[in-house]
Amino acid sequence: MSIYETEDSVQKSFNTDSIPEELLQAQWAEFIELKKIIAELFHLQARRITILDIGVGSGRVPGHLCKIPEIWNMIAGYDGIDNARACINLSKKLAETLQIQDKFLVHFLEADKLETLHKKFDLIMTTWFTPGNFYPDDFSFEAYNPSTQRLDLTANKKFIEIFSAAYDLLNDGGEIVLGACYIDNNATRLKQENFYKKLGMAIITDAEDSFTATREKFWSQRFTKEKIFDYFSYVPREKIGFTPLDTYNYAMQVRIKK
């Protein structure tokens, strides 16, 4: 059963009382950077911009943005997708409550079906560690055993397919923003594991893996700059930028410009 099967479970998953401080601070750090990017693209394009949010969740980001008129007025349209019906329902309720449904549209859609939107965007983004949630279709949470056959993430086919399709949907001068992304190091791995253990989950990965997964089907990949360069090999390196979201090498935001 997915943690996002019901609206109540979605609300609980965003309950700040159970979320570690480093996760909460990364959330706000990426939001501050996101506002800067929206303003930058608005001035670069000399018009209001269009946004696609992959993994819109409860609508948290547009819910905050719309309360800042100086930023919200820079946006022509904000589309959000999610593969959990409960998230779609909550996002639609939020749009109605805030009366932003003229600009904020949500779609029940898997991330690997982006082409069905038949739209172009100036900014395609994921927020709050969503980039690390895309795992290979054939990964077995029940059978994974790194001591016998470790998963090689030199190429994560699912991640690469999703974001290469996203890149194709960008207008000229647009960009993909991945934020936040876990940085691949031991200290970050331990923070991930401690959080999942606190939630009562069973870790199925070890220190040699570049991702953390649980028997309960949670998955969080960690990234290095080189891994990002490899996954976006079709993008010139000078068009890929990294913004630290803290001072302790825990999370970063990645910008891929077209």
What pLDDT is attached to residue 15?
62
In the structure, what pLDDT confidence band is assigned to residue 23 with cuts at 50, 70 and 90? very high
Mean pLDDT throughout 205-221?
A: 97
**Residue 63 pLDDT more than 60?**
yes
DSSP H or E run through 197: helix 186-198
Torsion of the alpha carbons at 66, 71, 74 and 78, rounded to the nearest 10: -40
CB 72 within 8 Å of CB 96: no
Q: Are 84 and 111 in contact (CB under 8 A)?
A: no
Q: What digits encode the pLDDT tens for the residues 103-125?
A: 999 999 999 999 999 999 999 99
Residue 91 near residue 54, CB atoms below 8 Å: no
Give residue 245's pLDDT: 98
- Residue 8 pLDDT class (50, 70, 90 cuts): low
Mean pLDDT of 208-236: 97
For residue range 136-195, what is the model confidence (pLDDT) as tens digits?
Answer: 999 999 999 999 999 999 999 999 999 999 999 999 999 999 989 999 999 999 999 999
Which of 148, 137, 130, 144 has the alpha carbon at shortest distance from 214? 144
Summarised one tens digit per residue, pLDDT across range 24-38 is 999 999 999 999 999
Q: What's the Rg (C-alpha) of the chain?
A: 18
Q: Can you give the pLDDT at residue 18?
A: 77
Q: Of the candidates 139, 160, 159, which has an alpha carbon nearest to the alpha carbon of residue 213?
A: 139
The domain 7-133+153-183+222-257 is placed in CATH, from the list 3.40.50.150, 1.20.1300.10, 3.20.20.140, 3.40.1170.10, at 3.40.50.150
- Between CA 71 and CA 34 the distance in angstroms is 10
Q: What is the mean pLDDT of residues 227-254?
A: 98
pLDDT of residue 87: 93
For residue 128, give both structure tokens.
């709050």
pLDDT score recorded for residue 4: 45
Q: What pLDDT, in 10s, does the model give residues 69-84?
A: 999 999 999 999 999 9
Interatomic CA distance for residues 99 and 79, integer angstroms: 15
Give the lowest-confidence range in 10-19, 174-183, 205-214.
10-19
